[in-house]
Amino acid sequence: MSRTLRVRQSQTVVPFGVGAVFDIQGESFVATGIGDWPTRGRQPVESARLADRLGVTGFFSAPATANDRFDVADAPGAPYIRFPSWLFCGACRRMKRWRIADEKHGQAPRCPSCSPVRTLAPMRFVQICQAGHLSDVDWWFWAHSRRDGGERRQCVEREKLKFLVSERASGLEALSVACTAKGCGAVRDLLDVLGTHGLRCSGRNPWQRAAEAAQCTKPVQIVQRTAGNLYYPVVHSALDIPEPDVPQVIDDAVADQVREHGLWVMLCRDPGSPRATRFREMIQEDTGADDALLDTLITEETGDPGPGTPVSPSASPGRPDLSREEWAAFMAPAPPATRNFAVRETTLGLAGETAEPWSSLAGRFGRVVLADRLREVRALSGFTRVSPDATVVPADTSRRLRWLPAVEVYGEGIFLTLDPRGLREWEEHSDVRRRVAGMRADLERSFQKDRLHSVTGPELTPRFVLLHTLAHLLIRQLSFESGYTTASLRERIYARPEQKQYGILVYTAAGDAEGTLGGLVRQGEPPRLAETLLRMTEAAAWCSADPLCAEHTGQGFGNLNRAACHACALLPETSCEAGNSLLDRALVVGGKHVPGYLEAIVIAARAAAATALEQA
């Protein structure tokens, strides 16, 4: 029976986007560049705001997978090719280099030497480099690498190899590649296969032609084909929000005050530097100018479009800031409504509440907006290998196309803000600043610095760590109460002080669906959300890994987390904007030598529980 291998349309961006290697039914494939996508069947995805920020003409999604019952065998779809091309037989252990000419439709690769027929399995290791190139390991060279050049030249048969397993050893030492060419007998085990071994980079990816190969001098690394550092996608996401109906009008009087301000020249010299945030705040405080006016004047002065600058998809692994317009849409006095952005304001239902801990809870949170329908566009601009800050390979490796692959997904969400006055008072506490300063120092030393700064802003602030951790805790709690798994929920953090942001959006955006069933929005209605927040706070006050977790001075990649572990705060990678880093539960519920923003709620809840026990 011929097998059918499918990749869902939503998976062609993440996790099986251009350049990704994935296994399916014992076979291994790599997604090719969008230059090989069929023109027939692909669907346009509208997102003018995201296209403008990325400097592209638009987006297309891959042709949708056909229905199981009415499948068309030769229907066009996003192309994937077999990789690695070196396969081996589990019975006779012979290795074979598989070529396109060997492919048979609807049939997995089979060993030409075995009877009964055996299916070939892909080799476990591949080689990558920091320039984003991927290729097979030169197994013939590996088998002969312990011999000198003269002995290697005597072996002229390059595909007479076997992948052997020894019963006298364990681990990689038990695996070896041997040459079975007549008179050779070269063999080497795989004990030290991982790492760099002087192998040369091919200068291209498996789907690129030989003529497209570049002269690459980067050292190659041999890794497992499912290794985490083999593929880092650069994905951009934008919500479909209403465009403002009224064009922006510049107040000439305020504009003149801005131009005459003593810090104006210094701001224009380097508007993207960390200190530019302080210059902006001081100018705004003295003149009353808003962010939109400052951006417009900076554009006129420097020719740099500022936040709206189209960013080359292959420029860096960072992401343009798309939060400003979304924050404004959620914070509008009368939230606008369209077909793909249906929102309504609500409350926690605690107005006039004097009993604890409810009164403390009401004083710590602000605006609540329920999104009955959201549309999100996710676009893939490229990927990196080895590390997130390595060279970005564009989704179109031929560099001729001006569009990007994308998918549109629909869902619902809960938008929640903190109390701005209480947040400012908490941020000014010296212990809070000292604790976040340590995280900021670790971030500056991290290889993820550039990518994370695109999420946090120019400088890591206490409010970002607080809001980010709060979003994680809320998602974990909602997974118990709303019917969604943690992997089905996502976060958006609005925590840029220069834009006066202090909120989070927890939402579900399900691929291949016209929306979700309303369970998340229902959980955001009063009084359910208040009860959820209280249970979330009580649960966050204790972790099964305490006291080690609560007192940790640095954990996770690059020590970018403090009191946050898998038992209390971490989420699936697809749910988090910052890759499960920059989290600290102590800033939420309090800890040793640091006050928590919700610490008063924890104390009040414990006191109320103790009183109830005494009265029982």
Q: What percent of the chain has pLDDT over 70?
A: 91
503 vs 477: CA distance, rounded Å = 18
What does the pLDDT read at residue 71? Answer: 53
Picking from 387, 445, 449, the residue whose alpha carbon sits closest to that of residue 227 is 387
| Region 97-107 average pLDDT | 87
408: nearest Cα among 233, 240, 576: 240
Q: Is the pLDDT assigned to residue 218 strictly greater than 80?
A: yes
Residue 512 pLDDT > 60: no
The strand pairing partners of 48, in sequence order, are none
pLDDT interval class at 201 (50, 70, 90): very high
Tokens of residue 172, six digits: 């990689």
Cα–Cα distances in Å, from 610 out to 587, 600, 605, 616?
Answer: 25, 15, 9, 10
Among the listed ranges 87-91, 234-238, 447-451, 458-462, which one has the minimum average pLDDT value? Answer: 447-451
pLDDT score of 514 more than 70: no
Stronger pLDDT, 425 or 146, i.e. the higher one: 425
Q: What is the pLDDT of residue 192?
A: 87
DSSP strand pairing (341-346 vs 365-384):
antiparallel
What contacts 562, CB < 8 A, 6 or more positions away? 435, 439, 552, 553, 554, 555, 583, 584, 585, 586, 587
Confidence at residue 483, expressed as pLDDT on a 0 to 100 scale: 81
Count other Cβ atoms within 10 Å, centred on residue 488: 20
pLDDT at position 2: 59
Best CA proximity match to 347, nearest among 432, 417, 277, 449: 417
Residue 494 to residue 466: CA distance in whole angstroms: 11
At residue 10, does pLDDT exceed 50? Answer: yes
Higher pLDDT, 84 or 10: 84
Edge-first strand listing for the sheet containing 134-136:
134-136, 125-128, 221-224
Checking if the pLDDT of 164 tops 70, the result is yes
Torsion of CA 41, 46, 49, 50, to 10 degrees: -30
Question: First and final CA of the chain: distance in angstroms?
Answer: 68
The SS3 assignment for 17 reads coil
Residue 244 pLDDT:
59
What tokens appear for 335 in the block?
């939230």
Q: Is the link from the previous residue into 420 a cis peptide, with omega within 30 of 0? A: no
* Residue 450 exposure: Cα atoms within 13 Å on the Cβ side: 13
Looking at per-residue pLDDT, the higher value among 611 and 317 belongs to 611
**pLDDT for the residue numbered 589:** 96
522 falls in which pLDDT band (50, 70, 90)? very high
pLDDT of residue 75: 64
Residue 285 amino acid letter:
E
Give the strand pairing for 43-45 and 58-61: antiparallel
Whole-angstrom Cα distance, residue 13 to residue 376? 13
Average pLDDT over residues 224-243: 92
Q: What is the pLDDT of residues 476-500, one digit of tens each?
A: 999 998 888 898 899 999 999 988 9
What pLDDT does 489 receive? 93
* For residues 336-345, average pLDDT: 89
β partners of residue 555: 561
Rounded Cα gap, residues 348 and 358, in angstroms: 10
Q: Give me the chain's average pLDDT, please.
A: 87
Instruction: Give the confidence band of 471 by pLDDT, cuts at 50, 70, 90.
Output: very high
pLDDT at 199 over 90: no
Q: What is the pLDDT of residue 314?
A: 40
Q: Whole-angstrom Cα distance, residue 292 to residue 328?
A: 11
| Residue owning tokens 């929000």 | 241
Residue 365 to residue 522: CA distance in whole angstroms: 19
The CA distance from 300 to 536, in Å, is 47
Q: What is the pLDDT of residues 419-460, one digit of tens each?
A: 999 999 999 999 999 999 999 999 999 988 888 988 998 899
CA 5/CA 62 separation, integer angstroms: 16
CA distance 219 to 46: 40
Residue 540 sits at the vertex; the CA angle it makes with 538 and 545, to the nearest 5 degrees, is 125
**What does the angle CA 282 – CA 285 – CA 286 come to, to the nearest 5 degrees?**
90
pLDDT value for 557:
85
- Which residue did the predictor score with more confidence, 59 or 483? 59
- pLDDT recorded at residue 66: 60
pLDDT(352) > 50: yes
Q: Is 158 helix (H, G, I), strand (E, B) or coil?
A: coil
